[in-house]
Amino acid sequence: MVKVLDLKRHVCYMIVAAIIALLITVLLHYPTLLHLEELGRIVVPRPKSIAVARLSGLVVYSEERGLLPISYITPNYVEDLLEEALKENPGALILVINSPGGEPSACYEIYHMLKRYKEEHNITLVVYIPSIACSGGYYISLAADEIVVNPDAMVGSVGAIGMIFSYVDLFKKLGVEVKIVRSGKFKGLTSPFKRIEKEDIEFTRRIVYGTYRHFVDILMESRGDKLREENLTDILNAMIYLGDEALKVGLVDSIGTLEEAKERARELAGLPENTPVVEVRPRIRRITIPLLPWSILVALEYLIPKAPSNSIKIMYMIGT
């Protein structure tokens, strides 16, 4: 009996301790309860800096994809990165872009986000391409005041690409029959449960050329005066150039290393020589293990439709 009473006493103490611990934790970690979100703000104007931020991977709208270790550039990620860069009071921002391309809508959003950012905050934007900025990767680079490229990097591939998939033969082999009931003749275009027909090709072509036209408009608006006319046909036919070739045809502004890009950014922004260079990282870091070559990952992760209903893919993408 004594033992049971003792145990009760100990358990009671433990319960009281747990309640106290929980109460303190709730008050500390949910500060809105006590209006303690921000006790004070110590703000001191900083000297201007040159911020360096890195964008690497497929340009996509949403990060919620498979488990494959691919890096993504999403509008949310870019926004987060730009917000972090602002804390460094940048006079110039260098974006190190390394991307084979991606979704048109995400490219469009990131391009305009960068444009707005540099205008709103009066920041000189320089893009440095160390390895690859093709198609959608190049699209977002067009927001820069100047593009510096590594001579061995790949640049260009101005164009869009579309693919349609059909599972009819596969389903036939599996013994599965699918009948499609449509409310209108355009409903279910590019459905993977029917054979690819002329209208599907035409529809895809229309979408591809539509997004391609948007890309060309942005290219002309940003670099129309810098592109060499005799190479324009090749450029608009999605030719890929090495860094030094890209300079000749006017796709980029200069050749160099990241150090030269920093120097160029400093000159363009009119910053003093001792301006500090700060590396900017997003608040939430992502774990990526770049083990496989791009093409395999892209094929596995993105281009093979995950659900049969998602059978059409339009991309600003290199080599697919």
Binding site for another protein (CB under 8 A): 2-3, 6-7, 10, 13-14, 17-18, 20-22, 24-25, 28-29, 31, 36-47, 87, 276, 284-285, 287
Q: How far is the CB of 72 from another protein (least distance, A)?
A: 16
Nearest Cα residue to 92 out of 128, 131, 137: 128
Q: Which is nearer to another protein, 41 or 195 (CB)?
A: 41
Tell the smallest beta-carbon distance from residue 211 to another protein (Å): 35
Between the alpha carbon of residue 240 and those of residues 90, 211, 219, 251, the distances in Å are 32, 19, 15, 10
We find the least distance from the C-beta atom of residue 277 to another protein, in angstroms, to be 12
Distance, CA of 159 to CA of 185 (rounded, Å): 29
75/198 Cα distance (integer angstroms) = 35
Compare residues 28 and 178 and give the one whose CB is closer to another protein.
28
Rounded to 10 degrees, the C-alpha dihedral 80/82/87/88 comes to 140
Q: Considering beta carbons, is residue 90 or 102 the nearer one to another protein?
A: 90
Least Å from the CB of residue 121 to another protein: 15
Give the amino acid at 293.
P
Give the C-alpha separation, 56 to 30, whole Å: 35
Q: Where does 115-233 show beta strands of DSSP type E?
A: 124-129, 132-134, 146-149, 154-156, 161-164
Cα first-last separation, the chain? 78
Closest distance to another protein from the beta carbon of 7 (Å): 7
What residues contact residue 165 under an 8 Å CB cut-off, 6+ apart? 192, 305, 311, 312
- Min. distance of Cβ 3 from another protein in angstroms? 8
Q: What does the radius of gyration of the chain's CA atoms come to, in whole angstroms?
A: 26
Closest approach of another protein to the CB of residue 27, in Å: 8
Closer residue to another protein in complex, CB, 27/176: 27
Q: Choose between 135 and 275: whose C-beta lies nearer to another protein.
A: 275
**Choice between 187 and 281, CB closer to another protein:** 281
Nearer to another protein, 42 or 181 (CB): 42
Residue 10 DSSP SS3 = helix
